[in-house]
Amino acid sequence: MNMHFPIFGFTNIFSIFLWLATPFLLSAQAQDVSLVIHLRGVSESKISLMTLSGTRTIKPIIEVNGIKNGETTKLLVPKNSLPGEFVIRFDYKEKKESAPYPSEKSIIINNQDLELWVSPIYCNNADSTWFQKKEKENATFAQFSKENGKQKEKIGLLQQFLMNYDDTQSKFYKLGIEEYEKRRNDYNQWLDKQVKQDKSLFVSSLYRFQFIPQIPWEGTETERLLSVIDHYFDGIDLKDPLLIKTSDINKWMDNYVNLYGQMATSVALRDSLLPAAAHTAVEKAKLGNPLVYGWMVDYFYKGFESNNIPSGMKALEPYTNDPNCLTSKRMEIERRLKGMQTLVIGSKAPSIDLEDGQAGKHFDLNTFDAGTPLTLLLFWSADCSHCVETVNALFPWSQLPENKKKISVVALSLDETETEIIAWDKKTAALTGWKHLRAKEGVRSKVASDYFVLATPVMILVDSKTKEIVSLPDNFSQIEAFLKK
């Protein structure tokens, strides 16, 4: 018996093209968008807005508590999340004494302010939950989905017939192929028309995921599979950067990878086929938008990494080194390099809100009372030799009586691994008098991102009262020189 080794779960070749895309998405907007929610039908609810864009994880970006029946709340969706695919989660109490119960509604937010009347119990029922009149994105996508289902229903029936008919040489079977091809071509033309008709809307970027490629019905099963692979990208516009703002692109690419997985009868063959799949997909994306090109490389790199396929990761090196390939890592580096220009003397230091494990409470820079005129923010790692050199010079100097009156040190560790944390615990035990914090996600943490930290150590000298940046020392000597002014 043949065994298949798909990466992301088995998907039947002929069911791939009949799934109906789930919502959504468009590039960053010029301004924030408001979402006004009118709550009804429950005693009260907590409301959370979570983004799905470009990721497989759901992250809340806004939360409001205690919204009562009949009340209205206004959520301001940040422009850097737009356009996007979102989930509104309601943790509602049907009665005052009830325990909270969850419900969720998927929505699209682009550049139009939205108003939603919602009953959380029936949040996906059009009779109980609706947007304002002339709402565009969600209404258009709902209409497209309804019509798309009708269009694909008949093609699906023909597919089933052609897959299961026992006499592939009969005239009746050949007539079935002709009818299938006619309906397939008509459907794809209808799809093109819908894209052009709604090109001003974000949702039009989703339509082409529905494209149906040709299948050689008179060939063998292997020939059919190879044909679907060869024509998989025919209907997609890889020059459209909005593709990577959707969650559908992950599903679409998972289906592509699983086509190769169906040909793998051993792990060794899988590990040979999948780098070939990546090469084909990335080469096609390379001709499109740099953001799509970068996303495609990220997609395969993560897949190879999580499935321990080093040959695949190695095969991607020419692309990860290509400056035109805007991978998430390259974009983050560019964002931080650009962001560094905003951290200037006289600007306010970004807020810091971290668990203070040593003190057993939260640390908030905005309310932190240093007790000295100056506060030094030190981003470091106990596993970084340059950091340790800086700390070894800075600590004894900071403990001198004349300096203790002038400056307090908040040391923010970016250590992540178990080995690093052990080294951090050991090192901080000797650094008494400093405030020690650790950002658990290291250089990927919010605080490292807010301060545009790419490597350690980084030092920022802040006025303790105003929280304004007064110096950006590169080394210990520059701190000494600043205090002598």
Q: What is the pLDDT of residues 97-118, one digit of tens each?
A: 999 999 999 999 999 999 999 9
- If you write DSSP's letter for every residue of 243-267 in order, what string do you get? GGG-SHHHHHHHHHHHHHHTT-SSH
Which structural domains are found in the chain, ordered by start?
13-22+141-331 (no CATH), 33-135 (2.60.40.180), 342-483 (3.40.30.10)
Residues 6+ apart with CB under 8 A from 183: 154, 155, 158
Which helix (H) or strand (E) segment holds residue 444: the answer is none
Q: What is the pLDDT of residues 304-330, one digit of tens each?
A: 988 888 889 999 999 998 989 999 888
pTM of the model: 0.71
Q: What is the pLDDT of residues 158-211, one digit of tens each?
A: 999 998 888 888 999 999 999 999 999 999 999 999 999 999 999 999 999 999
Long-range contacts (CB closer than 8 Å, 24 or more residues apart) made by 397-402: 397/476, 397/480, 398/433, 398/434, 399/433
Please report which confidence band the pLDDT of residue 447 belongs to, taking 50, 70 and 90 as the band edges.
very high
Q: What is the pLDDT of residue 25?
A: 34
- Helix/strand/coil (H, E, C) string of 379-440? EECCCCHHHHHHHHHHHHHHCCHHHHCCEEEEEEECCCCHHHHHHHHHHHCCCCCCEEEECC
Residues 6+ apart with CB under 8 A from 151: 187, 190
Cα 413 to Cα 157, 348, 421, 448: the distances in Å are 60, 21, 9, 10
Is 382 within 8 Å of 414 (Cβ atoms)? no
2 versus 454: the higher-pLDDT residue is: 454
